[in-house]
Amino acid sequence: MTAATTTIKTLAGNPHCRRLAWLAIVLLLLAAPFLIETTLGRSWVRIADVALLFIMLALGLNIVVGFAGLLDLGYIAFFAVGAYSYALLASPQLGVHWPFLVLLPLGAAVAALFGILLGGPTLRLRGDYLAIVTLGFGEIIRVFLNNLNRPVNITNGPQGITLIDPLQIGGFSLAQTHTFAGLTFSPVHSYYFVFLACAVVSIIISLRLENSRIGRAWVAIRDDELAASAMGINTRNVKLLAFAMGATFGGVAGGLFASFQGFVSPESFHLIDSIMVLCMVVLGGMGNVAGVVLGAVLLTALPEALRYVGPLQQSWFGEVIIDPADLRMLLFGLALVLMMLLRPSGIWPSRRRHVAGPPAKETEAPSAAR
């Protein structure tokens, strides 16, 4: 065991080996959809696409929760805002069909605006209070999406918006199957590469942010807001920026999601989806970009793997005792609890010191009389 780790450490220290390893990773990522299709089948390529979207979402939430320490339980609302702004402006719903390259930045901007809208009134709140307000915000957005079909039909209510335009860059539509250098690119493959590019950009932005002036300001606020502001950080602007940045990631992912699915409805944006993204961040390792990516991939793939549990139960017990979807949620809840009890800083923790702030009770002033 120790021999193996020392070997890995020496190898990792060697620049040639590092370069080779990176090359291998890049090649693996590029070949992944074809490898997955031949080994696991096409449905898993789709799952890989979704995993890439969730990487973007989780990285966005990581900015808010992991870096700035602001617990956001309504994060999926930004995803919804991005998805609906794309859906409305590129579908027969309003009869508008704007090009993708306009809509993606627009969705990001609208989501950022909502981020500031949420951040503004909640700036003074911390920890659990913020959590509840953001949760409420997420629910409000969903209630509006559900009900804005009367008196003027904007969102088409619970039925959602269908026939959303697929991604189209120039004359190249991702909805068609293309053949390229002997490889067949069906839509799931093409989307994989677009999402991969976006996810990689998100990862690079996150990594660059982490060690930037802003990133360090976020971490300072997370660890001690008072001290941070004493050090000259404009806490208001920096916190608003965290909300806006996080929301932007969500907005972009939402736009991509809408074009990928061709259909959006309020059903995709429940509280449980917010919690799912939060779990990715928490289980992976709050504040650590690599950990968050790992969390997103694991939590997208594992529930899908649980689908095989249904037939398995059938063959073992003769009937399906636990619905796989419920089993997934049960394991989810259990994982959250056990993770917090046994390994609170995540599978792949951040190297920076404590992540989640000081204990609840001890931060209150001793003179606090109620």
Partner 1 sequence: MEIFAQQLVNGLVLGSIYALVALGYTMVYGILGLINFAHGDITMIGALVSLTAVQLLAAAGVPAPVVLVLAGGAAMVVCVALGVSIERVAYRPLRHAPRLAPLITAIGISILLQYSAALIWGKQYIAMPEIVEPTRIVIAGAQLTSLQATIFLLACAIMAGLLWFLKASRMGRAMRATEQNPAVAGLMGVNTNKVIAFTFVLGSAIGAIAGLMVVLYYGLGHYFMGFMLGLKAFTAAVLGGIGNVAGAVLGGLLLGVIESLASGYIGDLTGGVLGSNYRDIFAFLVLVLVLVLKPSGLMGQHSGDRA
Residues contributing to the site for partner 1 (CB under 8 A): 71, 121-122, 124-129, 131-133, 135-137, 139-140, 143, 146-147, 150-151, 225, 271-272, 275, 278, 282, 286, 322, 326, 329-330, 332-337, 340-341, 344, 354-366, 368-370
Cα gap 209→215, rounded to integer Å:
5
CB 253 within 8 A of CB 56: yes
2 versus 326: smaller Cβ distance to partner 1: 326
CB of 190 to partner 1, least distance (A): 36
309 versus 335: smaller Cβ distance to partner 1: 335
Least Cα distance to 72 among 285, 219, 242, 288 occurs for 242
Tell me how far CA of residue 265 lies from CA of 68, 79, 253, 269, 312, in angstroms: 31, 12, 15, 8, 32
Pairing of strands 178-180, 183-185: antiparallel
CB of 54 to partner 1, least distance (A): 18
297 versus 355: smaller Cβ distance to partner 1: 355
Cα gap 367→357, rounded to integer Å:
21
CB 120 within 8 A of CB 133: no
114 versus 137: smaller Cβ distance to partner 1: 137
Cα gap 290→284, rounded to integer Å:
8
30 versus 334: smaller Cβ distance to partner 1: 334
CB of 167 to partner 1, least distance (A): 34
45 versus 286: smaller Cβ distance to partner 1: 286
CB of 130 to partner 1, least distance (A): 8
Least Cα distance to 282 among 294, 267, 273 occurs for 294
97 versus 354: smaller Cβ distance to partner 1: 354
Q: H or E stretch including 116?
A: helix 100-122
CB of 112 to partner 1, least distance (A): 20
Cα gap 20→25, rounded to integer Å:
9
CB of 232 to partner 1, least distance (A): 20
CB of 308 to partner 1, least distance (A): 19
Q: What DSSP assignment string belongs to 42-104?
A: HHHHHHHHHHHHHHHHHHHHIIIIIIT----S-THHHHHHHHHHHHHHEETTTTEE--HHHHH
